[in-house]
Structure 1
Amino acid sequence: METVRAVLGIDAAWTLSQPSGIALLADDGTQWRLVKASASYEAFLEDVPTIEVLRHRGSVPDADALVEAAERKLSSSLTLVAIDMPLSLEPIVGRRTSDNNISSTYGARHAITHTPSELRPGKTSDDLRKAFERIGYSLATCKIDGPALIEVYPHPAIIELALAEKRLPYKVSKMGKYLPR
């Protein structure tokens, strides 16, 4: 199987009752491209077009199935799984130094982090990390060596890359607030 740089991004819901967004990106050596974006694990696995589903449901993520589906769509190995959810090798019981630093630096730009707790994301986060570890994507905390799993909080990166004054509005359910009539 050919190897290109490829990232499976997961905007993970902190509970299993809410859907998690998925984006698969690949770099062929000349540019990055979006391979697939889905509004739930189910839609990503079943190749259901997002616009055909009125209400996506939450579900238990299946790391094996997600990686297999990603590699099938890529015709290549997956190199990185990036999850927008607190991840740790130690139990997360409250705000971490990283949460406080991001919120302090980006709070005025509307990009504070949610406060994690033992319950949320709790077991959801631990189970997801362990599932990816079982199939070879260990949590990278300092250095990425080979296939890896990383925690991401994309809003600060988007602010910097887009040279934006503040976090970009993106939730469809809040469009009336973003673009008042």
Structure 2
Amino acid sequence: MRFVGVDLAWSPRNTSGAVVLDWDGTTGRPRVWESALGGDAEVLSFIAQGVGEESALVAIDAPLVVPNEGGTRPCDRALSQRYRQGEAGAYPANRARLGPEVRGEILVTRLGGLGFAHTPKVRRQASTRQVVEVYPHPGMVELFGLEKTLKYKARRDRPSAVQWEELERLKGLLASLARGEPAMEADRLLNGITVRGLRGRELKRVEDLFDALFCAHIALHLWYWGETGYRCFGDLNTGYILVPIQPAT
């Protein structure tokens, strides 16, 4: 079984990050990763080559179902209300903002041609080729027990030093997943990255890669625990987002 995380840019003009995990029955480990994928063909090729003919769950951080022309999807509103206190609300997704051809919808269609089903229901430890929509920030609040989201995203009013500090925190939290259940051990990927001193495009690529790695862990978590391990906001008709939770909750 393999698990893919994709931090998909809403526009192919921007780069995307992606990670594929191998699962040996006890631990997930990154087998391939890329921090600067370009257009749809590059993203699809990365997934196809990284997964091959294996069973796989692909978790994509981007809207995959957007029927509304304007406003926001019901799932985005519901998620934002639930995680407002943790500052982990969703960005409003609509076709006016994303364009008439929504990138996530196109990718889902093309993955369907490779045998990937699109459904928000993840069965516990079942053999599957499936794609789902996820969102890392509420997942980090849930799995890392954060009171508020980490402030590692680039903003004009956010100094680079703050980004570096928060990305280092995230790096440590990602490393801590090696002691979790299910375990993900990513030292080979994480130890090759030095955050401090990066700026601009190079810093953005680290953000994207860390998000993609966490999305890959979300995919593993969803599959490992099944329906006891996630909340589903919305549905396949109006749009949905899966958020991982600790199964005890």
| Coarse TM-score class (shorter-chain normalised) | 0.7 to 0.9
Runs of 4 or more above 6 Å deviation: none
Q: Extract unaligned runs of 5+ from structure 1.
A: 42-57
Q: Extract unaligned runs of 5+ from structure 2.
A: 167-249
Taking only the aligned residue pairs, the percentage that are identical comes to 28
Decide whether aligned partners of structure 1 residues 37 and 110 sit closer, same or farther in structure 2, where only a CA change above 3 A counts: farther
Q: Which residue of 1 aligns with 2:140?
A: 158
- Residues 41-74 of structure 1: CA deviation (Å, up to 9, x unaligned): 2xxxxxxxxxxxxxxxx423446522332036xx
Decide whether aligned partners of structure 1 residues 129 and 71 sit closer, same or farther in structure 2, where only a CA change above 3 A counts: closer
Decide whether aligned partners of structure 1 residues 34 and 168 sit closer, same or farther in structure 2, where only a CA change above 3 A counts: farther
Tell me, what secondary structure is at the counterpart of 1:39? strand
Tell me, what secondary structure is at the counterpart of 1:108? coil
Shift of 1:104: 0.7
CA-atom RMSD in angstroms: 2.5
Shift of 1:111: 0.9
Please point out which of 105, 109, 129 is paired with 2:108.
129
Cα distance between partner residues in 1 of 2:21 and 2:68: 29
Query: Whose helix proportion is higher, 1 or 2?
Result: 2
Count residues in correspondence.
Answer: 156
Shift of 1:106: 1.1
Shift of 1:158: 1.3
Q: RCO higher in 1 or 2 (8 Å CA, sep ≥ 6)?
A: 2
Tell me, what secondary structure is at the counterpart of 1:40? strand
1:35 pairs with 2:14: no
TM-score by length of 1: 0.74
Structure 2 counterparts to residues 7-156 of structure 1, below 5 A: 7-41=3-37, 58-62=38-42, 64-71=44-51, 77-88=54-65, 91-93=67-69, 94-122=71-99, 123=101, 124-144=103-123, 146-156=128-138
Tell me, what secondary structure is at the counterpart of 2:152? coil
Shift of 1:172: 6.5
Cα distance between partner residues in 1 of 2:122 and 2:68: 21
Shift of 1:166: 1.1
What one-letter code is carried by the residue in structure 1 that aligns with 2:104? S
